[in-house]
Amino acid sequence: MELTTPKPSIFRRISTALHNHPGLFLLLLLALPLGWMLLVYIGSLIGLLIQSFFYLDGFTGQVVRQFTLRTYGDLFTRPHMEIFGRTVAMAASVTVGAALMAFPLAYYTVRYTSRRLRAILYLLILLPLWSSYIIRVYSWKLILAKEGIVSWFVGQLGLTAVLDWVLRLPVIGGPSLSISSLGLFLVFLYIWLPYMILPIMASLERVSKSLGEASGDLGARPSTTFRYVTLPLAFPGVVAGSIFTFSLTLGDYIIPSVIGDSSPFIGMTVYSYQGTSGNIPLAAAFTVLPITIMAIYLLVARRLGAFEAL
């Protein structure tokens, strides 16, 4: 029964060498992806941080590579803080709006559908997520235009006066929906909504149906069950979703430059500082703010158990 073992092939010898040195094998597997991410990405983030301590010489237009806090001095000025406040306010309202819209759809999909319908709904929620971002933004330019479908529809309902009244409101109003903060809010909401729906669905799927039945069995009315069982268990999903909606709104500059009244947001400001004015140090310092916010946000989210729902 002795098997004649031929001289092992080169592959087999490599395989055996890796078997004998599992640490080396792991290192080989990780070298490329880890090296790439550390070098390209983490390296860049560190580079960004370093740049924020340089400054732009106003006369020569050249970046001076010398450690200074001047750029941060420029950052903490009133106009910049207004931009900052506006962006955070928008990100927060988009997050709340997305949670309010996402929850019913997620709850309906997870709780009240057959397997077949659930698969279809799942696909319908995924499709916008993966579709072209820029086209989806563009579509709202068509929808919100003064002569577009929303105005037309409101007119058909005879509510044009109401729309005009809304547009005359301070802060959220503007000449048309397309050039108002309200319109901007709608587009942000539309673009990032799927990022809120999916984590909520994932966390609801983990809430077993029998928990609800147990609660009902113990005498709770459906509304009570929802309040004390379903909602707390689904909450990590909402937090996980909010990471995306908040962060993505914070860092977007395409949407506010296409829709809205062109009042600046963080993204647009960063873009214009690095682009037209070539002030990369200030642009870098600017992004340190959203990074800090997101770092705090992630730490809180982690404590709330949102990472399991990602």
Residue ranges in 38-57 that form contacts with other proteins under rule CB under 8 A: 38, 40-45, 47-48, 50-51
Q: How many angstroms separate the Cα of 86 from the Cα of each of 90, 181, 250?
A: 6, 10, 10
Q: Which is nearer to other proteins, 167 or 278 (CB)?
A: 278
CB of 76 to other proteins, least distance (A): 19
The encoded tokens of residue 32 equal: 């490329």
Of 24, 30, 171, 300, the one binding other proteins (CB under 8 A) is 30
Question: Do 84 and 270 touch, CB atoms closer than 8 A?
Answer: no
Minimum distance from CB of 172 to other proteins (Å)? 19
- Matching residue, tokens 């509304």: 223
Q: Is 63 helix (H, G, I), strand (E, B) or coil?
A: strand
CB of 309 to other proteins, least distance (A): 13
Among 83, 137, 184, 200, binds other proteins (CB under 8 A): 137
Of the pair 142, 171, the CB lying nearest other proteins is at 142
Q: Which is nearer to other proteins, 9 or 170 (CB)?
A: 9
Task: Report if residue 11 touches other proteins, rule: CB under 8 A.
Answer: yes
Residues 197-236 that bind other proteins (CB under 8 A): none
Nearer to other proteins, 131 or 165 (CB): 131
Please give the residues from 154 up to 173 whose contact with other proteins meets the rule CB under 8 A: none
Q: With CB under 8 A as the contact rule, which of the stretches 72-80, 114-122, 165-173, 228-236 interacts with other proteins?
A: 114-122
Query: Distance (Å, rounded) from C-alpha 310 to C-alpha 306?
Result: 7
Q: Print the binding letters for residues 236-275 with other proteins: x by CB under 8 A, - otherwise.
A: -------xx--xx-xxxxx--xx-------xx--xx--x-
Number of residues that bind other proteins (CB under 8 A): 100
Among 109, 181, 215, 242, binds other proteins (CB under 8 A): 109
Return all residues near 263 (Cβ < 8 A) that are at least 6 apart.
Answer: 86, 181, 256
Binding residues for other proteins restricted to 63-102, rule: CB under 8 A: 63, 101-102
Cα gap 158→127, rounded to integer Å? 34
- d(CA 91, CA 93) in angstroms, rounded, equals 6
3-state helix, strand, coil in the chain (%, to 5): 75, 0, 25
CB-nearer residue toward other proteins: 143 or 309: 143
**Residues 125, 105: contact at Cβ < 8 Å?**
yes
Amino acid at 199: P
Q: How many CB atoms lie within 10 A of CB 302?
A: 13
Partners of 64 in the β-ladder? 55
Entry field: residues in the chain: 310
For other proteins, which is the closer residue by CB, 123 or 170? 123
Instruction: Give the span between the Cα atoms of 112 and 209, in whole angstroms.
Output: 11
Q: Which of 57, 73, 152, 169 binds other proteins (CB under 8 A)?
A: 152
